[in-house]
Amino acid sequence: MITSQRMEDAALALMHKAAIDIPEDYLDALRAMTEAEAAKDEAGLSAFVLEAMLENYQAAEQDRRPMCADTGVPRYFVKAGNEARLQGGFVELERCLRAATARATQEIPLRPNRVHPLSRHDNGDNVGINAPEIDYSFEPDADWLEITTVHKGGLFGSDYRMLFPGDGIDGIKRFLLDVLIAFGKRGLACQPAIVGIGLGGSKDTCMVLGKQAACLRVVGERNPDPEIAALELELKDLGNSIGMGAMGFVGSSMVVDCQIEVGYCHTGGMPMSVHCFCLSSRRATARIQADGQIDYRHDPRWFTPYMRRDTVTWPGTTAASRRTG
Amino acid sequence: MAGHDGGIKTYRLTAPVQPDDLAGLELGGVVYLDGLIYTGREGVYRRLLDQGETPPVDLAGISNVNFHCSPAAAIDDDGTFRVGAVTATASFRFAKWLPQWFRQTGCRVIIGKGGMSERDYREIFVPAGAVYLTTVGYGTGALLGRGIQAVEGVHWLDELGIAQAIWVLRVKEFGPLLVESDLAGNSLFERHNRRIDSHIESLYDGLKPPALRRFGETDDKTDELI
């Protein structure tokens, strides 16, 4: 049984880690990108900006202060082992996540960013109606609980479009260029970004897949489908060929990595979403074991083989739940 | 005061700034600030300019540097303020308030994210003798947070909340900031846009147009969203 206390402890620690410590995978990639920009004569300003960001991550870590004052919209992704047992159940887990959000806002401190869309009322603790969002997924043959928090800005750098099968790869490239050019100017997207692309699904699923691809995979990780993996690399290069760097200055540092996730969609359509996870790509994950031990890491490991399954059954599912094809 | 750092000019300015300080600023130069600055964004502009409320404090008497920012800050039980990080918010949304704002407050420097259009600089900033400094990144929240020595006051906190209130900040070596507009109304961002735009069309060579178009869509990639 995973206790309520452990769930709240983990969530609170995650809020601190995400806000303050840049994930290693993003940091390593950004260091390489900074060196590449610095080696080019025309990308001096872009290189200057990236060097300042590297200094900023260090300052955040040394001072234990947030790397960015824009808290974004802090949220959680929960992966529950199929055998996990939670004290107080999922209702208690949700209370823990809301409590950790409010406590972290005061402790760290984070900017109270969440307001009512019409009255603009601010509770002052990043908690409100449908805030923080909590997304769920499940894992067979496991009794642990995994919590990931993501702090991502929300105003610029994302878009959705219904493409059609006839648009093909051309349509995907064109829409990606449109989004990166539109939001890359003046650095509105806070690039270089981890660009997440959702392909397929229903409209809302398409947005969710793209967001999760940007936020819940690590830099350098490829989609297991070789065709999609190749497209990821091709689109990354395309984004970096625009000629734009950090803050929209001349350079070639737009895309740190491109991550694509797919879902089966309507036979007549090919919906696509694009999301930019920014220079403050804030995410942190904890696994709480059944005995209460907590392990922290930067890699959410959200897209498991089980998540990406395309079969009716899954090996190990019980006879009672198995359907015949 | 100007220096050089790896080919990029560096300036150290004291706020409130003197008009002479601004005359020497070149686009793309790096600025660090000492002195007093205040935050103010749409919440403040709406109350002060649209609703004609009396300002809670004499802003012109404090500084002439307006930071488009909401701090990551908390108020402790004993009433003291803790500011962890500060980063700017995108400024283009506030252009419509600035002519009156400059007249009413004597503001000469806007610090923010993303700048404004060259047209806004020429029509609004140049007549007011004002320039725009952009934060870097974005955003260097921790570095800018280090540059804050003290919170000298917070105004309209109850009315507007932490994010939108007026924060008066005493700063030291606050930066880095980049000179985005000069007193002639030139824009660093637009200068770079023009270089990038010159070959952007070629990226689309050979890509067929989408089957279904959208209202308001433009194929002119030199357009901006702001």
Mean pLDDT for A198-208 is 98
Mean pLDDT for B187-208 is 95
Task: Judge whether residue B211 has pLDDT over 70.
Answer: yes
Helices (H), chain A: 4-20, 24-38, 44-63, 89-107, 168-184, 203-216, 226-240
pLDDT score recorded for residue B6: 59
Q: A104: buried, middle or exposed (CB in 10 Å: 19+, 13-18, 0-12)?
A: buried
Using a CB-CB distance cutoff of 8 angstroms, which residues of chain B are in contact with residue A250? 192, 195-196
Our CA-based measurement puts residue B182 at a distance from the nearest CA of chain A, in whole angstroms, of 17
Our CA-based measurement puts residue B224 at a distance from the nearest CA of chain A, in whole angstroms, of 7
Mutate to test the interface with A, among B136, B213, B221 (most CBs of A within 10 A): B136
Using a CB-CB distance cutoff of 8 angstroms, which residues of chain B are in contact with residue A107? 74
Higher pLDDT, A128 or B215: A128
pLDDT score recorded for residue B109: 98
Residue of A68, A187, A242 lying closest to B203 (CB–CB): A242
CA B35/CA B172 separation, integer angstroms: 7
Residue keyed to tokens 């760097």: A245
pLDDT band at A154 (very low <50, low <70, confident <90, very high): confident
Residue keyed to tokens 């897949």: A209
CA A297/CA A148 separation, integer angstroms: 9
- Do A187 and B114 lie within an 8 Å CB cutoff? yes
Q: What is the mean pLDDT of chain A?
A: 95
Higher pLDDT, A276 or B78: A276
Would an 8 Å CB–CB cutoff place B194 in contact with chain A?
no
Mutate to test the interface with A, among B143, B158, B190, B198 (most CBs of A within 10 A): B143
Residue keyed to tokens 């009315």: B159
Residue percentage of chain B with pLDDT more than 70: 97
pLDDT score recorded for residue A155: 87
Q: Helix A44-63 and helix A24-38: axis angle, to 10°?
A: 150
pLDDT score recorded for residue A322: 44
Using a CB-CB distance cutoff of 8 angstroms, which residues of chain A are in contact with residue B115? 186
Between the alpha carbon of residue B25 and those of residues B3, B8, B131, the distances in Å are 12, 12, 9
A109 upstream amide cis, omega within 30 of 0: yes
* CATH fold for the domain made of B6-198: fumarase (3.20.130)
CA A10/CA A21 separation, integer angstroms: 16
pLDDT band at A318 (very low <50, low <70, confident <90, very high): low
pLDDT score recorded for residue A325: 36
Mean pLDDT for A273-297 is 97
Q: Which run of H or E residues covers position B135? A: strand B131-135
CA A208/CA B222 separation, integer angstroms: 30
pLDDT tens by residue, B86-119: 999 999 999 999 999 999 999 999 999 999 999 9
The residue extents of the domains of chain B are 6-198
Our CA-based measurement puts residue A92 at a distance from the nearest CA of chain B, in whole angstroms, of 27
CA B196/CA B224 separation, integer angstroms: 13
- Biggest CA-to-CA distance, chain A: 66
Would an 8 Å CB–CB cutoff place B199 in contact with chain A?
yes
- Do A185 and B225 lie within an 8 Å CB cutoff? yes
pLDDT score recorded for residue B139: 87
Task: Judge whether residue B2 has pLDDT over 70.
Answer: no
pLDDT tens by residue, A221-266: 999 999 999 999 999 999 999 999 999 999 999 999 999 999 999 9
A59 contacts A20 by C-beta, under 8 angstroms: no
Pick the residue from chain A with its C-alpha nearest to B198.
A243
A155 contacts A70 by C-beta, under 8 angstroms: no
Higher pLDDT, B224 or B13: B13
Mean pLDDT for A291-314 is 97
pLDDT score recorded for residue B4: 52
Task: Judge whether residue B5 has pLDDT over 60.
Answer: no
User: Strand, helix or coil at B140?
Assistant: coil
A249 contacts A43 by C-beta, under 8 angstroms: yes
pLDDT tens by residue, A6-50: 999 999 999 999 999 999 999 999 999 999 999 998 989 999 999
Task: Judge whether residue A323 has pLDDT over 50.
Answer: no
pLDDT score recorded for residue A56: 98
CA A98/CA A78 separation, integer angstroms: 13
Q: For residue B20, what are the contacts with CB-CB under 8 A and spacing of at least 6? A: none
Would an 8 Å CB–CB cutoff place A177 in contact with chain B?
yes
B123 contacts B98 by C-beta, under 8 angstroms: no
CA A114/CA B70 separation, integer angstroms: 13
Would an 8 Å CB–CB cutoff place A170 in contact with chain B?
yes
- Do B214 and A161 lie within an 8 Å CB cutoff? yes
CA B200/CA B197 separation, integer angstroms: 5
Residue percentage of chain B with pLDDT more than 90: 84
Mutate to test the interface with B, among A56, A73, A176, A270 (most CBs of B within 10 A): A56
pLDDT tens by residue, A118-143: 999 999 999 999 999 999 999 999 99
CA B50/CA B63 separation, integer angstroms: 22
User: Strand, helix or coil at A248?
Assistant: helix
